[in-house]
Amino acid sequence: MQVNQLTSVSAPISVNLEVTDKCNLSCSFCFNAAPSYEAMMQSQEKQDRAEKAQNELLISVRKKRILKTLDRLHETGVLEIRLFGGEFTIFKSWREILEYASTKGFLISFVSNGYLIDGDAADALARNGVAECTISIHGPRDVHDAVVKRIGSFDRAMAAIKYLRESGVVPTVAYTPNRENIDTLEAFIREMCEEYDVMSFSISRLFSDDRYSNLTLDDYYRILEVIDRCHRDLGVEIMLADSFPRCQVPIKYWRYLGYCSQGVTFAQVDFNGNIKNCSATSKILGNVLEEDVTKLWPEKLSGMWRLDHLPKSCKICPIFCGGGCTVSRGVENQFAPDEFIPWPSDESWLQAIAKTVYNRVRKIGHRIFYAQHYAKPESVKELSNTPVVVEYNSRPEGEGHVVMFKNFGVRQLTDQAYEVLRYIDGKRSISEITAIVQKKYNGTSEAEVVEILKSLPLR
Ligand SMILES: C[S@@+](CC[C@H](N)C(=O)[O-])C[C@H]1O[C@@H](n2cnc3c(N)ncnc32)[C@H](O)[C@@H]1O
Ligand code: SF4
Ligand code: SF4
- How much is the pTM? 0.92
Confidence of residue 333 (pLDDT cuts 50, 70, 90): confident
Gap between the Cα atoms of 245 and 328, Å rounded:
11
Residue-by-residue DSSP string for 114-138: -TT--HHHHHHHHHTT--EEEEE--
Ligand 1: does its nearest atom lie under 6 Å from the Cβ of 332?
no
Which has the closest alpha carbon to 206: 242, 237, 239?
242
Q: Which residue did the predictor score with more confidence, 380 or 216? A: 216
Give 410 Cα–ligand 3 centroid separation in angstroms: 23
Ligand nearest to the Cα of 31, by number: 1
Return the sign of the alpha-carbon dihedral for residues 404, 304, 337, 38.
Answer: negative
State if residue 91 touches ligand 1 by the CB under 6 angstroms criterion. no
Q: In this structure, which CATH number among 3.40.1110.10, 3.20.20.70, 3.30.70.20, 3.40.47.10 belongs to the domain 14-306?
A: 3.20.20.70
Mean pLDDT of the chain: 92
- Structure confidence at residue 208 as a pLDDT band (50, 70, 90): confident
At residue 124, the pLDDT reads: 98
The finding on whether 160 has its CB within 6 A of some atom of ligand 1 is no
Q: Which atom of ligand 1 lies nearest, measured to the CA of 85?
A: 3
Residues 135 and 112 sit within 8 Å (Cβ to Cβ): yes
Summarize the confidence of residues 331-336 as an average pLDDT. 84
Exposure letters 334-345 (e unless 16+ CB within 10 A, then b): bbbbbbbbbebe
Q: 136 CB less than 6 Å from ligand 1?
A: yes
User: Residue 245: its pLDDT value, please?
Assistant: 97
> Given strand 14-18, what is the order of strands in its sheet?
237-240, 200-203, 170-175, 132-136, 107-112, 80-84, 14-18, 266-270, 274-276, 286-287
CA of 263 to the centre of ligand 3 (A): 18
Residue-wise pLDDT tens digits, 430-447: 999 999 999 999 889 999
Question: How many CA atoms lie less than 13 Å away from 81 in the CB half-sphere?
Answer: 32
How remote is the CA of residue 326 from the centroid of ligand 2, in Å?
Answer: 21
Domains of the chain, by residue range, sit at 14-306, 314-374, 392-455
Written as one string, the DSSP assignment of 232-262 is HHH--EEEE-S---GGGS-GGGGGGB----B
Q: What is the pLDDT, as a whole number, of residue 285? A: 96
Q: What ligand has the least distance to the C-alpha of 319? A: 3
The 8-class DSSP code of residue 345 comes to: G
Mean pLDDT to the nearest integer, 101-121: 98
Dihedral pair phi/psi, residue 112, rounded to 5°: -150, 160
**Ligand 1 centroid distance, CA of 58 (Å):** 25
